[in-house]
Amino acid sequence: MRVEVYDTTLRDGTQGADVEFSVEDKLRCARALDEVGVDFVEGGWPGSNPRDMEFFRQAVRQTWHHARLVAFGSTRRAEVAAHHDANLRALLEAGTEWVAVFGKSWDLHVHAALRTSLDENLRMIGDSVRYLKAQGRKVVYDAEHFFDGFRANPAYALQTLRAAAEAGADRVVLCDTNGGSLPHQIGPVVRRVAEEITVPLGIHTHNDAGCAVANAVEAVRAGCVHVQGTVNGYGERCGNADLCVLVPNLVLKLRYDCLLPGALRRLSHLSHFVAELANRTPDEHQPYVGRNAFAHKGGVHVSAVRQDPGTYEHVDPAMVGNRRRFVVSDLSGRSNILSKAEELGLPLDPRSPSTAQILERVKWLEYTGYQFEGADASFELLARRLLGEWNDGFEAGPFLVVVHRTEDRAWAEATVRVRVDGTEEHTAAEGNGPVHALDRALRKALERFYPELRRIRLVDYKVRVLNAEAATAARVRVLIQTTDGEERWETVGVSENVVEASWLALVDSLSYALWRSRGRRSQAAVSQAGGDGEPVRER
């Protein structure tokens, strides 16, 4: 059985307090949704703002391979003829074949929000749908607050649906707009509606009670063939049903047909792509697509997963475009180290003393405040150093940081010394703060020997106080994320001095960049030659 997927990221999703898309962002997002086979893409409310009108102006000129664009708006205003209503005219001007209009199903809203009569509300619904159909549009009718309305006045709530269906609506969508319904309340209501309404039914749920996905699943099981939601659950207040969770549940658990064949394997990429467009940090604990959705940390878990992934994974991560990840921490056992080494391509022998040495070193460092579960690059460097596979490419010497303060400005100056193959470089640089200055000075010192470091940049910097009771003398952990424009990696440093902790993480970040550009290549050359030994440092 096929269930239609209706995405409202570009409309309802943008009502999230910290979600913002430009017109180009919306176009890119819509194309990505089209590529995976989303059936409907609700592009916005053209009557509400110029940006949405511009989106539709550009979007209707483009070729869409699968998705149908939908313009969203409300029913006509009370006591205003449909053909005179500005909102309905804006829907028509958007130029889409499909339009969506919402109307009131809850008598409380008719009286308190619309300030009109129950009969006029029914006429508003019917007139709006009938007018849009007469103009050649296909209509999705969203029954706003339907479940609350049904609980308060079931007879009237059903009347509103009949008004839309009898006027010619192509889909009737039951909305849990306040997001307060629970799963056991959804199914019986949907089944009751299905006895009255022959138009294909849809479901639109919000997450205010943490049940948006579960409620949508229950609605489908009860007869809905159309589901609405947003990528990553973005939306007003607590958000909407997360399509990145809802769709895999429908496809993998209940065997419904959604999206295009094979598209589910692109779901993790879609999730992260939309997060980037929205300037939101991806949720690492998001089911199915989060970075930690298939991360294993406990030694017992890791050991079992290495024998049979099904012991601690409910689906194969590759089915949703994700991957298994083994986390190294002070809870790690030998299985964690071996699994992480295998993931990183490290040649560890389970019987080798090096494995035990790496494990003990990790446990000690984590005891002192390090955290490798968020710093894979630092763990890889630690292991390769202990294995004799990598020697950083440089020796970091002493550094000096001076912070200057005037009445209108503060800045820092850093001086560093590094040694490469016996040659010492002594440089200085200024920055907005001590870490910025150190980063620039260290880079400046090394770029003479390693010009590829010019394209390396720091993209995230986090400081965590480990023992707050020590106040300003507290030990801190610094996590740095770095990129070369192709990949990102995380490194960590710990010290009672935040500048030193930052320095340690910075040194690791550049050492890892050199490993990526030179160490791997040298290791491959040695392997191809049939030799062994320490990789050659190239310049």
Contact 27, 33 (CB under 8 A): no
The number of distinct structural domains making up the chain is 3
370 assigned to some structural domain:
no
Residue predicted with more confidence, 307 or 102:
102
Looking at the fold, whether 135 and 252 belong to one and the same domain comes out as yes
Looking at the fold, whether 27 and 161 belong to one and the same domain comes out as yes
Contact 169, 198 (CB under 8 A): no
Task: Identify the band that residue 116 occupies on the pLDDT scale cut at 50, 70 and 90.
Answer: very high
Q: What is the CATH number of the domain that holds 421?
A: 3.30.160.270
Mean pLDDT of the chain: 90
Looking at the fold, whether 65 and 183 belong to one and the same domain comes out as yes
Give the C-alpha separation, 244 to 249, whole Å: 9
Determine the pLDDT at residue 462: 87
Contact 258, 229 (CB under 8 A): no
Looking at the fold, whether 404 and 489 belong to one and the same domain comes out as yes
Looking at the fold, whether 133 and 266 belong to one and the same domain comes out as yes
Instruction: Give a three-class secondary structure readout of 135-157.
Output: CCCEEEEEEECHHHHHHHCHHHH
Q: What is the CATH number of the domain that holds 244?
A: 3.20.20.70
Question: Which tokens hold the place of 484?
Answer: 């070369």
Determine the pLDDT at residue 323: 85
First to last CA, the chain: 61
Torsions phi, psi for 513 (to 5 deg): -60, -40
Looking at the fold, whether 33 and 134 belong to one and the same domain comes out as yes
Percent composition of the chain: helix, strand, coil (DSSP 3-state, to 5): 45, 20, 35
Looking at the fold, whether 122 and 204 belong to one and the same domain comes out as yes
DSSP assignment string, 198-219: -SPEEEEEB-TTS-HHHHHHHH
Determine the pLDDT at residue 325: 77
Give the bridge partners for 139, in sequence order: 99
290 assigned to some structural domain:
no
Looking at the fold, whether 139 and 65 belong to one and the same domain comes out as yes
The whole-number average pLDDT for the span 339-359 is 78
Contact 339, 329 (CB under 8 A): no
Consecutive H or E run containing 428: strand 423-431
For 191, the domain range is 4-277
Check pLDDT > 70 for residue 331. no
Determine the pLDDT at residue 342: 76
Looking at the fold, whether 320 and 270 belong to one and the same domain comes out as no
239 assigned to some structural domain:
yes
501 assigned to some structural domain:
yes
Count of positions (residues) in the chain: 539
The region of weakest confidence among 112-126, 131-145, 447-461 is: 447-461
Looking at the fold, whether 350 and 419 belong to one and the same domain comes out as no
Output the CA–CA distances (angstroms, integers) from residue 212 to 231, 233, 489, in the order listed.
13, 9, 34
79 assigned to some structural domain:
yes
Q: Which residues of 484-504 are buried (b: 16+ CB within 10 A; e: fewer)?
A: beeeebbbbbbbeebbbbbbb
320 assigned to some structural domain:
yes
Determine the pLDDT at residue 538: 38
Looking at the fold, whether 249 and 304 belong to one and the same domain comes out as no
Task: Identify the band that residue 519 occupies on the pLDDT scale cut at 50, 70 and 90.
Answer: low
Consecutive H or E run containing 478: strand 476-483
539 assigned to some structural domain:
no
Last residue of a domain, one of 277, 311, 335: 277
Check pLDDT > 90 for residue 324. no
Write the Ramachandran bin of 522: left for phi over 0, alpha for psi from -120 to 50, otherwise beta: alpha
Last residue of a domain, one of 315, 345, 365: 365
User: Of 452, 539, 537, 460, which Cα lies nearest the Cα of 506?
Assistant: 460
Looking at the fold, whether 216 and 94 belong to one and the same domain comes out as yes
Q: What angle do CA 240, 242, 244 make, to 5 degrees?
A: 160
Give the C-alpha separation, 354 to 389, whole Å: 12
